[in-house]
Structure 1
Amino acid sequence: MGVDIREYKNNLRKKYRGWREALSPEEKRERDDRIFRRVIRCEAVQKADTVICFISTPIEVDTHRLIHYCWRHGKQVAVPKCLEQRGRMAFYLISSWEDVEVGKFSLLEPAPERCQKLTDMERSVCIVPGFSFDPQGYRLGFGKGYYDRFLSSYKGIKLGICYSACVAPKLPRGRFDVPVDFLLTEKYVKKI
């Protein structure tokens, strides 16, 4: 009898969610700060005109500081909006927090009526979220498939950000999963 891969992935999500929720605010801030410093020193980020980035929730590696950094340094910031078409996202340029609103899954998303849709992804880099990554660059996401679909056609450099305690030896993967190009944690940067 085979293993139910969905149950296995859900158990991994619970494990890594529990670890993240157990972090004290001080520990989280310190880890987030180390990851932030690694990200902004990354050559791909320094050279990019546009940073495609998720807006973090409390259990994710903080991206709010990175978004502010990009604005201050003249980089465009594009954030995802989940579309009605199942599993699809569009990215919109935001220039302030006034450009976002609570959207699908209670996530902060761009307000399309106030933002320009990102159509040119040349000279961009994508900051990729995940509950977990493995050393081969594969990720365990939140289970809805939005980033998997986007990454399958994204041609730019993909940076996965994650806490080192959430890096698994090997994650289950499907034939459509796409690895990131770099994995950044509070302890290291790994080129895949």
Structure 2
Amino acid sequence: MTKAQVRRDLLGRRRTMGDQQRGRAAEAIAMHALSTPVVARAKRVACYLSMPSEPGTAPLISGLLGLGIEVIVPLSRPDRTLEWVAYDPAEPVAPTALGIPEPAGPPLGPDALDRCDLLFVPAVAVDHAGHRLGRGAGYYDRALADVRGPLCAVVFTHELLPEVPHEPHDVPVQMVITPDGLFRVP
């Protein structure tokens, strides 16, 4: 199957999930992520504010902040790049034209990800070798190209697959978190 076919099938399946199922998945993802040693040692973590169809990150972000970990989140730029801002739950969040929730705040600069102990990244699917299939615009592949910190994709359990189509520019992840637990890429 092509990337477009896999993406279309999995995004269609996401649309059929109910709010309760999504809520349970988000809580389970947070529980598994927050119990990992890399999170326990973290000072700064990058994460994303999930869209309604994605595995929810609100419980994860709340838990990270509760542990005193600084959380930075992305801002999408018109040139298809990402900037990063410190997340403050007291600040308003508004959806972009693409429906992506983003807070206001001053950008942290080009080296913001270099100071992260862990990066939680969105994906439509991830395979057992760590190949991440995103939505296709390349924002994250560009942002993560030179990042040295460990990358952890967040997906629903059925989106962790034996294999996904990938290309040389696709940045692999080292971990995958699902409602069923943490998968470390061998």
* Distance in 1, Cα, partners of 2:66 & 2:107: 19
- Please name the residue that 1:152 is paired with: 145
Instruction: Confirm or deny that 1:70 pairs with 2:64.
Output: yes
Native 8 Å contact 1:44 1:157 kept in 2: no
Shift of 1:72: 2.0
Instruction: Confirm or deny that 1:103 pairs with 2:96.
Output: yes
- Please name the residue that 1:47 is paired with: 41
* Distance in 2, Cα, partners of 1:159 & 1:68: 17
Pick one of 41, 47, 52 that aligns with 1:58: 52
- Please name the residue that 1:117 is paired with: 108
Unaligned runs of 5+ in 1: none
Look at both structures and tell me which one has the larger radius of gyration over its CA atoms. 1
- Please name the residue that 1:84 is paired with: 78
Count of residue pairs brought into register by the alignment: 183
Which letter maps to 1:161?
Answer: V
Q: Deviations over 1:102-131 (max 9, x none)?
A: 2241211232xx335154432421001101
Q: Classify the secondary structure of the residue corresponding to 1:90.
A: strand
TM-score, normalising length: structure 1 = 0.87
- What RMSD, in angstroms, separates the aligned Cα atoms of the two structures? 1.8
Shift of 1:175: 1.0
Shift of 1:171: 1.0
Pick one of 159, 171, 181 that aligns with 2:164: 171
Q: Classify the secondary structure of the residue corresponding to 2:31.
A: helix
Q: Deviations over 1:4-49 (max 9, x none)?
A: x8xx222211211121121222222222222111111111122111
Which of structures 1 and 2 has the larger relative contact order (alpha carbons within 8 angstroms, sep 6+)? Answer: 2
Q: Deviations over 1:26-79 (max 9, x none)?
A: 222222222111111111122111110110011111101111222222111111
- Please name the residue that 2:28 is paired with: 34
TM-score, normalising length: structure 2 = 0.90
Unaligned runs of 5+ in 2: none
Instruction: Confirm or deny that 1:190 pairs with 2:183.
Output: yes
* Distance in 1, Cα, partners of 2:31 & 2:15: 23
Q: Deviations over 1:161-190 (max 9, x none)?
A: 111111222111111112111111122322
Give percent identity, aligned residues only: 25
Native 8 Å contact 2:27 2:60 kept in 1: no
* Distance in 1, Cα, partners of 2:48 & 2:148: 18
